[in-house]
Amino acid sequence: MQLAAAISVATGVATAQGGDVFSLSLEDLAEVKVSVASVRDRPVREQPAVVTVITAEQIARMGAIDLLDILKTVPGFWVAADVVGGVLTPTFRGLAGGEGKILLIVDGVEQNDDLYGAPVIGQRYAAATIRRVEILRGPGSARYGGNAMLAVVKVFTKGAEVDGVEASLQSTSSARHQTNELWSFAGGAEIDDWTLSVSGHVDRGVKSTGAYTSPAGSTFALEDSSDLDSASLRLGAACRGFAARLQYDDIAWDDVLFAGGGDTQVNRREFEQFRGELSYELQVDEGWTITPRLTCSRGNPWGYTRLGETQQFLTARYQAQVESQLQTDGMGDLLVGVSFYRVQAELESGITSLGFDPATYYGDEQVHHNDVAVYTQYDFDTDWATFSVGARYEDHSTVGDKVVPRLAVTRTWDRWHGKLVYNRAFRVPQIETINTAERAGSSIRPETLDALEFELGYTGEGTTATGSVFWLENQDSIFFDTSLGTNGGNRNGGDIENWGGEFEVRHTRACWSAFGSYSFYQSRRNEVAPTVATGHGTANLGVPEHKGVLGLSWIPSDVTSVQATAIVLGRRWAYGYDGAGSSVQQVDPEVDLSLFLQHRIDRVTLGIGASNLLGTDIYYAQPYDGGLAPVPGQGRCLVLSMAARF
């Protein structure tokens, strides 16, 4: 039995509104205004899409460590492992989001890597630094482009609203040794006309405390061979419409999975990225702004060191964007934007024995692609409902162009709301997705997705409830085919058709609060053979068809809270070792139960709790047949916390 102890010191308990960590009511949460799907800020129930907002208060109560912990509680989301080093990326509504299908934005800056478009999560984005998460649970391509085919996750870190500095130390230990030590900080200030913000973290620990069994039957103890280091720094400054941001992010860990088969040699995997953005909001007239924005990112994603050889990709992305927003009281709200980016990569050093020769890998020293887009969205209110109409035209220099529309109708009456949303979305393949296809002799084109969603919700005194149903069809799906070329390659396949539902309810009464959600999907049709759970109908590999989240909070005062959270997964299917070799096997249902208590004394917060209280074997499975068996997560943890605010 694995037992872990965690000690955290977090400064600050400010909510998204800058107040008490235990003070937000359900009515307050329902009226939090966001613009993840709308032109102007609107309450969640008036957003022209299915939207989830998670505040700092909710994050603190659940005792989340990083963004992965937060997303696992959101309806429709789960986490999958990819073949190289057990890289963790989100899934949504039965489909993998690892290669450019789920867009991750932090403080307005896109985080998906430039080689594959992967939103890599897990021990990377510290929860203690997050002020709010806005999630567009549905396609966002018309507004956000070719990495937003399934969903959009927007993270806002803490800053000037803290009016000081928050710092945190979190130390986690297993029965054998310390497994994680996470330092994080966030804060900011307003000085004259300037608004300043800073946040960051440093983490030292292990990626997993479990044991990995490869499809060939080899077993490796990851607690001794998955040492992890990660760090980030985010700086922001704004003054009279001008804004600047600088971001640095690095995560590296020891890897014995080596493309799923296991390796007695301990290798090293790394993602490192620098990002910067400048913008200026020009107030042309009342309600009319024009905002030019310049973004630059340079990085080393998917770096690898093995047997003394280092594989290092150098990527760069330069983007220019101009958005015009016109907000009126009687004529509606109009957004018009134009965007251009150039993305490039070179293989600076490679592991030649694995086919990565810098002299020949791209056929030249460097490869680059250009992309131009024009997009618009118009939201307008009528006596009966609010309508939202949008479209995007995007032309990629290598894979061609796409036009995608969206239409949403939102109606609120008394305490009820209803939404009907249609989206056509697309995914633009990134550099390595295109390159692996070309090297394997296959051409590639953007994949598309049609989605129809309906949501019905109720907001009452102390109770909120929403239910949504969806249908989606993914056409020309891009997937990795291990049979192509020498090392496999990406190509377009057939169609995948899923349908399902997501339901949430929250209730507060006196000092008690309860919440629950249930998500399910069914695959009606899957023509992409490597993603099918062979022998089990049309079930998709790696993704649970059923997920439930249950939570109960006791809040006896405005300084104390106790919350229990249980995440219950239905069965999944994945390739693994069956005693004779690799075959599709059932991954058993899982129950991940956590318990967290907080008590604040002036500027000090004390806490105690436990994560994975039942000691369940948590696994992250690969959502296609790529040679990786399910990757184990962390074991049972005992959590002790102490917090102070400066």
Query: What is residue 198's predicted lDDT score, i.e. its pLDDT?
Result: 96
DSSP sequence for 178-213 = EEEEEEEEEEEEEETTEEEEEEEEEEEEES-SSEEE
Closest CA to 254 of 220, 219, 214: 220
Q: Are residues 348 and 313 in contact, defined by beta-carbon separation less than 8 angstroms?
A: yes
Q: Which residue has the higher pLDDT, 415 or 637?
A: 415
Q: Is the pLDDT of residue 361 over 60?
A: yes
Helix (H/G/I), strand (E/B), else coil: 604: strand
Asked if residue 51 and residue 24 are part of one domain, the reply reads no
Nearest-angstrom CA–CA distance, 607 and 62:
12
Q: Is the pLDDT of residue 10 over 80?
A: no
Q: Is the pLDDT of residue 15 over 50?
A: no
Name the region of 602 (left: φ>0; alpha: ψ -120 to 50; beta: rest). left
Asked if residue 220 and residue 256 are part of one domain, the reply reads yes
Q: Are residues 98 and 89 in contact, defined by beta-carbon separation less than 8 angstroms?
A: yes
Average pLDDT, integer, range 437-450: 89
Q: Is the pLDDT of residue 642 over 70?
A: yes
Q: Which domain holds residue 10?
A: 1-32
Q: Are residues 49 and 136 in contact, defined by beta-carbon separation less than 8 angstroms?
A: yes
Q: Are residues 203 and 227 in contact, defined by beta-carbon separation less than 8 angstroms?
A: no
Closest CA to 162 of 124, 126, 129: 129
Asked if residue 14 and residue 142 are part of one domain, the reply reads no
DSSP sequence for 393-420 = EEEETTTEEEEEEEEEEEEEETTEEEEE
Phi and psi at residue 115, to the nearest 5°: -85, -45
Q: Angle at Cα 200 formed by Cα 198 and Cα 201, nearest 5°?
A: 160
Name, in order, each residue with C-beta under 8 angstroms of 412's C-beta and a sequence gap of 6 or more. 45, 46
Among all chains, which residue has been given the structure tokens 């149903």? 469
Would you mind telling me the total number of residues written for the chain in this entry?
646
Asked if residue 19 and residue 130 are part of one domain, the reply reads no
In this structure, of 210-214, 293-297, 545-549, the range with the lowest mean pLDDT score is: 210-214
Asked if residue 444 and residue 394 are part of one domain, the reply reads yes
Name, in order, each residue with C-beta under 8 angstroms of 96's C-beta and a sequence gap of 6 or more. 80, 89, 531, 542, 543, 623, 624
Asked if residue 208 and residue 142 are part of one domain, the reply reads yes
Of the chain, the percentage scoring pLDDT greater than 70 comes to 92
Average pLDDT, the chain: 89
Q: Which two tokens stand for residue 476?
A: 């020309």
Query: What is residue 350's predicted lDDT score, i.e. its pLDDT?
Result: 83
Nearest-angstrom CA–CA distance, 608 and 7:
9
In this structure, of 318-327, 486-495, 576-585, the range with the lowest mean pLDDT score is: 576-585
Nearest-angstrom CA–CA distance, 118 and 83:
13
Q: Which two tokens stand for residue 221?
A: 């103890």
> What are the pLDDT digits (tens) for 267-288?
889 999 999 999 999 999 999 9
* Per-residue DSSP letter, 79: E
Helix (H/G/I), strand (E/B), else coil: 535: coil
Q: Which residue has the higher pLDDT, 83 or 251?
A: 251
Q: Which residues pair with 471 in a beta bridge?
A: 452, 499
pTM flag (> 0.85) = yes
Asked if residue 440 and residue 322 are part of one domain, the reply reads yes
Q: Which two tokens stand for residue 185?
A: 């900080």
Query: What is residue 141's predicted lDDT score, i.e. its pLDDT?
Result: 96
Q: Angle at Cα 597 formed by Cα 153 and Cα 516, nearest 5°?
A: 50
Asked if residue 570 and residue 429 are part of one domain, the reply reads yes
Q: Is the pLDDT of residue 486 over 90?
A: no
Phi and psi at residue 60, to the nearest 5°: -65, -40
User: Which range, 4-8, 196-200, 639-643, is most confident?
Assistant: 196-200
Q: Which two tokens stand for residue 122?
A: 């897990």
Average pLDDT, integer, range 327-342: 94
Burial label for 39, CB within 10 Å (0-12, 13-18, 19+), is buried
Q: What is each CA distance from 13 to 59, 60, 263, 582, 606, in whole angstroms?
A: 10, 8, 44, 49, 12
In this structure, of 14-28, 164-178, 473-487, 524-538, the range with the lowest mean pLDDT score is: 14-28
User: Pseudo-torsion of CA 611, 614, 617, 618, nearest 10°?
Assistant: -40
Nearest-angstrom CA–CA distance, 123 and 9:
17
Asked if residue 76 and residue 12 are part of one domain, the reply reads no
Closest CA to 238 of 273, 188, 200: 188
Asked if residue 476 and residue 446 are part of one domain, the reply reads yes
Asked if residue 139 and residue 234 are part of one domain, the reply reads yes
> What are the pLDDT digits (tens) for 398-412?
999 999 999 999 999
Q: How many domains does the chain have?
A: 2
What confidence tier does 37 reach under pLDDT thresholds 50, 70, 90? Answer: very high
Asked if residue 259 and residue 155 are part of one domain, the reply reads yes
Nearest-angstrom CA–CA distance, 516 and 497:
27
Buried b (16+ CB within 10 A) or exposed e, 41-56: ebbbbbbbbbbbbbbb
Q: Which two tokens stand for residue 520?
A: 């399910």
In this structure, of 14-18, 19-23, 85-89, 103-107, the range with the lowest mean pLDDT score is: 14-18
CATH number, position 403: 2.40.170.20
Query: What is residue 19's predicted lDDT score, i.e. its pLDDT?
Result: 41
